[in-house]
């Protein structure tokens, strides 16, 4: 009897911790949803086409929720990360394909994220972002080297929750005017703008369904020791976190459509995308935008660099883990360092981070099928998932997402060439 009481007490003590975990998971996923790619593509979408590309964000978010939930379920049930399972199930030669494609696209994205952090600091201090860029890259490397996984995962994401201020800004500006609403279902695309419209749609898909999310999320679940008990947390984190993140992304579209579009501003630089926040909240609004940009790009820089390092270490069968000391996972940490150096060099010579982010998002869109296709087979393998394999609905939805990924991959490069890179 007393044993039962003890268990009851233990259970009730665990309840707040469980809810805190869920809250932290949702906050992390919300803050982690936005990055230089999503902010750039959402800003450009609103400035150029009003509300006419919100459908792409909604579609991409639904796909991302589905895929992230599956990668988390795989990690929680099998105790293995997605990258490691692809290598194990399909062999090393096959694994090289998603690995190489991720390496190309995500190194560029990492350079853009570092640039995003530098621009955020420049908007607060007034210093040139080019001057700040090398120091930001060094700072990111030091944090990656010294910090624990939970600090890296939760720190920027908790600050990134300020991203919800974009929704408040839409309310403060009185929402979209009635004249803008029809662009939601009838996009205002002039003759000659179709290539740019479709290119932005593809870039939104690439920036939202970034495969690094799957690799990072599943590796993180393994690092945190998720088990079958965490499947509920996984579903909530994927659904609510991505959902809230997507709302912020849509808010950026609305803000750009309401404030920038009437002036003919195309959102070619990250600072421009923050101007509506100034209209809504005064000088504090600009600072809020800079903090959002800082936190989301910093979080994404951590996630992208860790995700790539996980991929390489898991592919070659090396020791890996941000929780391990550098000496315990030496090759993993060498790769991490090399990636930050290469991305910093690219960022120094490539110029504007916004264009780099949109270009990287297009490449991610091009490579989507390589990273996503194995998921369908793996999620139906009882050896890894036991009774938690995909149901019929999940399989149909995954096939639909894969079909969309193939379509986006096919059109991304022609549209990149024809639209002149989105601007």
Partner 1 sequence: MRHLLCARAVSCALLCVSLALCLALSGCAATQSDFTRQTASAGGEFAAAALTLAGAHQGRLTFAYARGSFVNYQSQLDGLDAQLPGLQGAPDEASVHHLLALYAPAMRAVEQPCLDTACDWRAQVNALNRASAAFLRAAETSA
> By the criterion CB under 8 A, which residues form the site for partner 1?
47, 90-91, 93-94, 97, 119, 122-130, 190-196, 260, 263-272, 274-275, 278-279, 282-283, 285-287, 290, 351-352, 366, 369-370, 373, 406, 409-415, 417-420, 423
Rank residues 279 and 337 by Cβ distance to partner 1 and give the closer one.
279
Q: Which of 403, 346, 366 is nearest to 114 (CA)?
A: 346
CB of 418 to partner 1, least distance (A): 5
Cα distance between residue 70 and residue 397, in whole Å: 12
Q: Are 280 and 173 in contact (CB under 8 A)?
A: yes
CB of 397 to partner 1, least distance (A): 21
CB of 415 to partner 1, least distance (A): 8
Q: Are 362 and 37 in contact (CB under 8 A)?
A: no
Residue 177 tokens, joined: 């005017």
Q: What region does 80 belong to: left with phi over 0, alpha with psi -120 to 50, or beta?
A: beta
Rank residues 220 and 285 by Cβ distance to partner 1 and give the closer one.
285
CB of 271 to partner 1, least distance (A): 3
Rank residues 333 and 373 by Cβ distance to partner 1 and give the closer one.
373
Cα distance between residue 38 and residue 13, in whole Å: 39
CA distances to 153, 182, 202, 353 from 251, rounded to whole Å, are 24, 17, 19, 21
Segments in 126-241 forming alpha helices (H): 129-146, 149-160, 165-172, 194-208, 211-223, 231-236
Rank residues 234 and 361 by Cβ distance to partner 1 and give the closer one.
361
Rank residues 120 and 144 by Cβ distance to partner 1 and give the closer one.
120
CB of 166 to partner 1, least distance (A): 16
Q: Work out the number of other CB atoms within 10 angstroms of the CB of residue 346.
A: 17
Cα distance between residue 124 and residue 127, in whole Å: 8
Residues 6+ apart with CB under 8 A from 21: 233
CB of 374 to partner 1, least distance (A): 8
CB of 55 to partner 1, least distance (A): 19
Rank residues 125 and 148 by Cβ distance to partner 1 and give the closer one.
125
Rank residues 118 and 340 by Cβ distance to partner 1 and give the closer one.
118
Rank residues 321 and 421 by Cβ distance to partner 1 and give the closer one.
421
CB of 409 to partner 1, least distance (A): 6
Cα distance between residue 189 and residue 200, in whole Å: 12
């Amino acid at each position: 009897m007393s044993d039962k009481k003890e268990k009851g007490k233990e259970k009730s003590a665990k309840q707040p911790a469980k809810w805190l975990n869920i809250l932290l998971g949702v906050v992390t996923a919300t803050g982690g949803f936005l990055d230089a790619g999503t902010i750039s593509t959402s800003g450009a979408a609103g400035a150029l086409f009003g509300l006419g590309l919100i459908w792409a964000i909604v579609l991409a978010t639904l796909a991302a929720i589905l895929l992230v939930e599956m990668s988390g379920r795989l990690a929680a049930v099998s105790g293995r990360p997605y990258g490691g399972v692809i290598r194990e199930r399909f062999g090393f030669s096959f694994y090289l394909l998603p690995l190489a494609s991720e390496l190309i696209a995500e190194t560029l994205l990492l350079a853009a994220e570092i640039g995003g952090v530098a621009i955020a600091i420049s908007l607060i201090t007034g210093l040139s972002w080019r001057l700040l860029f090398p120091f930001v890259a060094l700072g990111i490397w030091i944090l990656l080297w010294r910090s624990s996984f939970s600090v890296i995962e939760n720190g920027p994401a908790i600050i990134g929750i300020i991203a919800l201020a974009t929704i408040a800004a839409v309310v403060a500006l009185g929402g979209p005017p009635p004249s803008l609403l029809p662009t939601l279902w009838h996009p205002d695309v002039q003759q000659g703008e179709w290539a740019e419209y479709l290119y932005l749609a593809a870039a939104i898909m690439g920036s939202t369904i970034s495969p690094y999310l799957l690799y990072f999320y599943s590796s993180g679940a393994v690092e945190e020791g998720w088990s079958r008990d965490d499947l509920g947390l996984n579903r909530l984190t994927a659904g609510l976190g991505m959902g809230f993140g997507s709302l912020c992304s849509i808010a950026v579209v609305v803000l750009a459509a309401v404030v920038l579009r009437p002036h003919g501003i195309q959102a070619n630089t990250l600072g421009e995308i923050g101007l509506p926040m100034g209209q809504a909240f005064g000088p504090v609004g600009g600072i809020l935008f800079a903090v959002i940009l800082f936190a989301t790009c910093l979080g994404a820089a951590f996630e992208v660099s860790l995700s790539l390092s996980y991929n390489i270490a898991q592919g070659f069968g090396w020791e890996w883990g941000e929780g391990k000391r550098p000496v315990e996972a030496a090759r993993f940490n060498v790769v991490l360092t090399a990636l930050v150096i290469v991305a910093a060099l690219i960022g120094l010579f490539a110029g504007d981070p916004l264009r780099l982010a949109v270009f990287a998002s297009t490449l991610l869109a091009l490579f989507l099928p390589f990273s996503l296709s194995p998921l369908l087979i793996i999620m139906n393998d009882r050896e890894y998932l036991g009774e938690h394999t995909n149901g019929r609905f999940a399989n149909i939805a995954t096939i639909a997402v894969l079909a969309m990924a193939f379509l986006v991959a096919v059109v991304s490069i022609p549209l990149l060439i024809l639209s002149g890179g989105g601007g």
